[in-house]
Amino acid sequence: MDRRALLAGAATAGVASAAIPDDVLAASDRAEAIAATRYGRVRGIRSPDGVITFRGVPYGAPTSGSNRFMPPVKPEPWTGVREAVEWGQSAPQLVSFVPSEVQAYLGGPVARAQGEDCLVLNIWTQGLAAGRRRPVYVRIHGGGYSTGSGDRPMYLGHNTVRRGDVVYVSMNHRLDCFGFLDLSQFGGDAFAASANVGLLDLVAALEWVRDNIEHFGGDPDRVMIVGESGGGAKVSTLLGTPAAKGLFHRAVIESGPSLALPSRQTSLALAERFLKRAGIGPGQIGELQAIPAHLMLEARQLTLNRRWFPYEAPPQGGFGPIADGTIVPRDMFDPVATPISSDVPVIVGYNRDEGTFLQMADPDLYGLDDAGLEGRVRGLVGDAAPQVIAAYRDAQPNATPSELMIGFGTDYIFGANSIKLAERKAALGPAPVYLYRFDWATPAFAGKFGATHGVEIPFTAYNIAEMPVLTRDRPDAHALAAQVNDTWTAFAATGDPNGAGLPHWPAYTAQRRATLLIDQHSQVVDDALGPNLRRLWDAVPARRI
């Protein structure tokens, strides 16, 4: 499966959390829920348990018309008090075509208004008192670079704020061809940044946090960015983005290690195909800013989906950021870690059974024989398949072909790159890096998914009850979530994840390779992948995602 398509699939989520009521509050309570920003005052919702939520607060101007494909622009100031009680628009996107099981365990699809006035963020806090400076937990949504929004149930911050003394922020940003269409060679200097404007949106959101979060009880000098899947890839990329330097002080990459980005050549070829599908000539780029968003999405489908043009060479990848030499000067963690964020402590990790998600559409996954295993591995690594299978058999001598395929699929996308990122970050120094593997297996769908892709999100955000299919709202899940969520918030506060209930977690080093295995009985092991498999993956070039 194409990596960008995989990350897009992880964006699907569910209905609004019942933890945040929408009822009209007394006038005195409403007055207490007013906060100042540089652009004007906003009024949020105070819940009965004391958490104040601000929804749909603009951090940028609408991105339609002449602002389409341009770097984000600051929002226009307003007078009076702006109501911040409704979710803002999600970026224009297509419905994620993922299996119905994923829809179910992540909560089902969300019907939110889409539009190009999507540069909005959401804030959860326990208090607005001046002088109270809490750590800031910033969640960047997943879904690759093509789907998702920050208001989905697994990302909501109410429970994290209620449990820990932090301010929680999520946001939306431009996606897909709206945020990453490389028009630099077709539209002149004005479009020079178009391949990375979706990334610049994230920088603008972090600038808003720096400039305004103190009015919401947050500390602009203790900001942690967290992302899973596509969100983790965005965190990885921000670590190599000079404009983001100093805007965050800790980073967490959950199942989304991005070591390297596609080339300018790849992005230009994709843009050329897009313009052809949209019927726009190289001298007509300005017209692309005027066509309706739904026609942009149609051209996107015609660009990336081979069904209508099977005789053409398939497109390479999808729309996402590139290492353009300026906004992202070079690949973030290949061949070595970027020095831009050398002072930022990092947590990076993956889930033990990510491969069940990657291969969910394979009807024979749980009944593979040796021939089926070899055929699937050969389809990914070619003639190296026998060597790869032998290495996995040696590491797991009692595993079935299906179990070997799940383990290989996990490492092929997430495990090996998470370890490479940790190794390269540790070699760079001076800030530490901490490696984990999440082993808690979901009981969803007869337990077939194991510790699948995305299973850790309700634990890191303490949204167990909001994900009832995935977690069954079980007491053991709540107990583990308390430990994991406390660990993440401790990291936000100090840059050190220790002291919050999990076993002592040493920093990753080349000498020890300490890895925290998170489960009901969490433990630290050294070199969890093992030297043979680690050396096997060391020889594989970095995937550009």
Residue 466 falls in the annotated catalytic set: no
Tokens 């002149």 correspond to 188
Rounded to a whole number of angstroms, the distance between the first and last alpha carbons of the chain is 13
Edge-first strand listing for the sheet containing 40-43? 34-37, 40-43, 81-83
Residue 294 falls in the annotated catalytic set: no
User: Angle, to 10 degrees, between the axis of helix 385-395 and the axis of helix 370-381?
Assistant: 120
Can you say how many angstroms the Cα of residue 102 is from the centroid of all Cα atoms in its chain?
Answer: 17
Contact 327, 200 (CB under 8 A): yes
H/E stretch holding 54? strand 52-58
Nearest to 122 by CA among 152, 80, 163: 152
Q: Strand, coil or helix: what is 83?
A: strand
H/E stretch holding 356? helix 354-358
b/e code 293-330 from CB counts within 10 Å (16+ = b)? beebbebbebbbeeeeeeeeeebebbbbbbbbeebbee
Which tokens sit at 323?
A: 């290492």
Q: How far apart are CA 344 and CA 361, in angstroms?
A: 38
From the list 116, 354, 403, 423, the catalytic residue is: 354
- Name the region of 454 (left: φ>0; alpha: ψ -120 to 50; beta: rest): left
The 10 Å Cβ neighbour count of residue 5 is 16
Q: How far apart are CA 537 and CA 146, in angstroms?
A: 28
Q: Strand, coil or helix: what is 113?
A: coil
H/E stretch holding 198? helix 197-212
Residue 521 falls in the annotated catalytic set: no
Q: What are phi and psi of 74, to 5 degrees?
A: -60, 150
> For the chain, how many helices (H) and strands (E)?
19, 14
Contact 489, 461 (CB under 8 A): no
H/E stretch holding 232? helix 230-238
One-letter-per-residue 3-state SS of 134-187:
EEEEEEECCCCCCCCCCCCHHHCCHHHHHHCCCEEEEECCCCHHHHHCCCCCCC
From the list 90, 170, 229, 236, the catalytic residue is: 229
> Beta strands of 406-501 (E only): which ranges?
433-438
Give ∠ CA 225-229-233 in degrees, rounded to 5: 60
From the list 453, 456, 466, 522, the catalytic residue is: 453
Nearest to 122 by CA among 24, 49, 9, 44: 44
Active site residues: 229, 354, 453
